[in-house]
Amino acid sequence: MKNNNYYIAVDLGAESGRVMVGILEEEKLKMKEIHRFPTKQITENDTIHWDIYFIVSQIKEGIKKASAQGYNQPKGIGVDSWGVDFGLLDENDELIELPVAYRDKRTDGMMEKVFEIIPKENIYKIAGIQFLKFNSIFQLYSLVYYKPEVLEKAKSFLMMPDLVNFFLTGVKHNEYTDTTTTSLMNAQKRELEKMFFDKLNIPFGIMQKIVQPGTKIGEIKTELLSELDLQSTNVFAVGSHDTASAIAAVPAQGNNWAYLSSGTWSLLGIEVSDPILTEQALKYGFTNEGGIEKTIRFLKNIMGLWILQRFRHSWSERGEELNYYEITELARKAEPFQAYFNTDDERYFNPKDMLTELENYFTETNQIVPNGIGEMSRVILENLAFKIAYYLKQISQFKSESIEVLHIVGGGSKNVLLNQFISNVCNVKVIAGPDEGTAAGNIMTQAMANGDIKSLSEIREYIRNSYPIKEYIPQDIDIWKENYKKYIEICTTIR
């Protein structure tokens, strides 16, 4: 007889989504991937949208596959995704338009227009969120500015995980951790800041009740139970922002650690009990996002493996199909420290061709243009490590204890070369794993909501018992220190 102490996690990333089953047994978590699918985008009228109907159909397919494998009576289902993006429903609870993807150009210039109405310093003192042009506040203001008719029709604002939960349960809510990424929350009060809505002419009434991770939202709609071959099933709010779930699954002990959620984006930070809203935090561009048990994730959003992903795509279009392991092996054998660039420069945000963009930059700056997949991949990974070291030095200024350990979780934790580079240049011990940290945190938060787990500290104890971790000790410290200085000298536009 199958152990029925299991939960289903729906984990949506900007590149792919997955449906996972997590089984709690003998104080360990065992994870099983059931279904993986692309998080499909479509372009209509020169606007990039998330195909939410395709995504939901794939989520349903994953749940049906889980049921077919005997997991048809889960103790709960939880949904997480990337932040900032949302859908708007009309008075009939129908989508007014497909959710717009954060890499769309509709927010170009919107930050500056918002700052003319509310100075950036005032926004930061309240919301405490890093200013990125795709933050929800700027997406919404682009509707005020260009498409007010959409907001006139809008009755409900749902972040991407909230929207999926609505399709599954019929219940509308705004989960706390994901809503903090909007820059519309009061970080200290942990509630929506109505002043922002009033001054920007964004209707406050579209917002829903804020619920904390670990809250029961509702149950799968009766009409879906037969379609999904499920028994009556609870749906829980988890750390719906994927990084919140990932950080819940950091197998940390003590207070001498920082974390890096490594994937399409790299999110580097520390866990604190209260938001840090100082001028220095604003100057450095740090963000205060909500976490499990009302913790604050004080972190920096860094352009992560997106650059390598798009570089791989560039080579794919040229007829070179290589997986990430093969690319990393070529990078390992390549000549080190050939060129330097600022991975966070906006030119790498969504270029038509990443390889051409990189080659143009190295030519413009009179540097060696790396030749071939191995050389360019190594340069990308080295400079990602340099960037992480740069911000780790900054973030350590906000922590009373010295940072001696960097925990790396997420898909990027499997990149052994990048992990070693980070350890070398940061001169700290790196502990990598789990690679499915987001799904693990999602599952364990559901278990906490259901009473199977008592606290965040117990979640982390389960994770330590459940997953093998790999340690990296700094190597070639002097060489990396010397090249880090060159990186700083060349990348004068670092932000």
Classify residue 381: in a domain, yes or no: yes
Looking at the structure, do residues 37 and 131 belong to the same domain, yes or no?
yes
Q: Place 1 in a pLDDT band, splitting at 50, 70 and 90.
A: very low
Question: 406 has which bridge partners?
Answer: 258, 430
Query: Using CA atoms, how far apart are residues 404 and 331, in angstroms rounded to an integer?
Result: 28
Active-site residue, 242 included: yes
Tens digits of per-residue pLDDT, 55-81? 999 999 999 999 999 999 999 999 999
Looking at the structure, do residues 303 and 209 belong to the same domain, yes or no?
no
Q: Please, what is the average pLDDT of the chain?
A: 95
Classify residue 308: in a domain, yes or no: yes
Q: According to the model, what pLDDT value does residue 2 have?
A: 56
**350 C-beta neighbours (distance < 10 Å), count:** 15
Classify residue 137: in a domain, yes or no: yes
3 state DSSP class of 158: strand
* Boundary (domain end) residue, out of 242, 259, 292: 242
**84 C-beta neighbours (distance < 10 Å), count:** 23
Give the mean model confidence (pLDDT) for residues 299-308.
94
Q: Most distant CA pair in the chain: distance in Å?
A: 66
Looking at the structure, do residues 72 and 125 belong to the same domain, yes or no?
yes
Could you tell me the sign of the dihedral formed by the alpha carbons of 439, 445, 448, 453, in that order? positive
Classify residue 226: in a domain, yes or no: yes
Containing domain of residue 486, as a range?
250-433+454-495
Active-site residue, selected from the candidate residues 242, 353, 452, 476: 242
Tens digits of per-residue pLDDT, 425-483? 999 999 999 988 999 999 999 999 999 999 999 999 999 999 988 999 999 999 999 99
**DSSP string of 383-408?**
HHHHHHHHHHHHHGGG-SS---EEEE
* Boundary (domain end) residue, out of 242, 263, 297: 242
Looking at the structure, do residues 216 and 284 belong to the same domain, yes or no?
no
Pair 72, 57: CB distance under 8 Å: no
Give 71's DSSP letter: -
Q: How many domains does the chain have?
A: 2
Classify residue 447: in a domain, yes or no: no
Tens digits of per-residue pLDDT, 157-189? 999 999 999 999 999 999 999 999 999 999 999
Tens digits of per-residue pLDDT, 262-298? 988 899 999 999 999 999 999 999 999 999 999 999 9
Looking at the structure, do residues 226 and 305 belong to the same domain, yes or no?
no
β-strand pairing of 215-219 with 287-290: unpaired
Q: According to the model, what pLDDT value does residue 265 have?
A: 87
Looking at the structure, do residues 150 and 194 belong to the same domain, yes or no?
yes
Model-wide pTM > 0.85: yes
Query: Using CA atoms, how far apart are residues 411 and 15, in angstroms rounded to an integer?
Result: 12
- CATH number for the domain including 226? 3.30.420.40
Tens digits of per-residue pLDDT, 319-375? 999 999 999 999 999 999 999 999 999 999 989 999 999 999 999 999 999 999 999
Give the mean model confidence (pLDDT) for residues 206-232.
96
Q: Place 236 in a pLDDT band, splitting at 50, 70 and 90.
A: very high
Query: Using CA atoms, how far apart are residues 35 and 55, in angstroms rounded to an integer?
Result: 12
- Name the one residue in this structure whose structure tokens are 């100082």: 278
Classify residue 445: in a domain, yes or no: no
Classify residue 16: in a domain, yes or no: yes
Pair 339, 367: CB distance under 8 Å: yes
Looking at the structure, do residues 338 and 217 belong to the same domain, yes or no?
no
β-strand pairing of 234-237 with 77-80: parallel
3 state DSSP class of 405: strand
Count CA atoms closer than 13 A to 342's CA, side-chain side.
14
Q: Exposed/middle/buried for 118, CB within 10 Å: 0-12, 13-18, 19+?
A: middle
Pair 392, 407: CB distance under 8 Å: no
Q: According to the model, what pLDDT value does residue 494 have?
A: 44
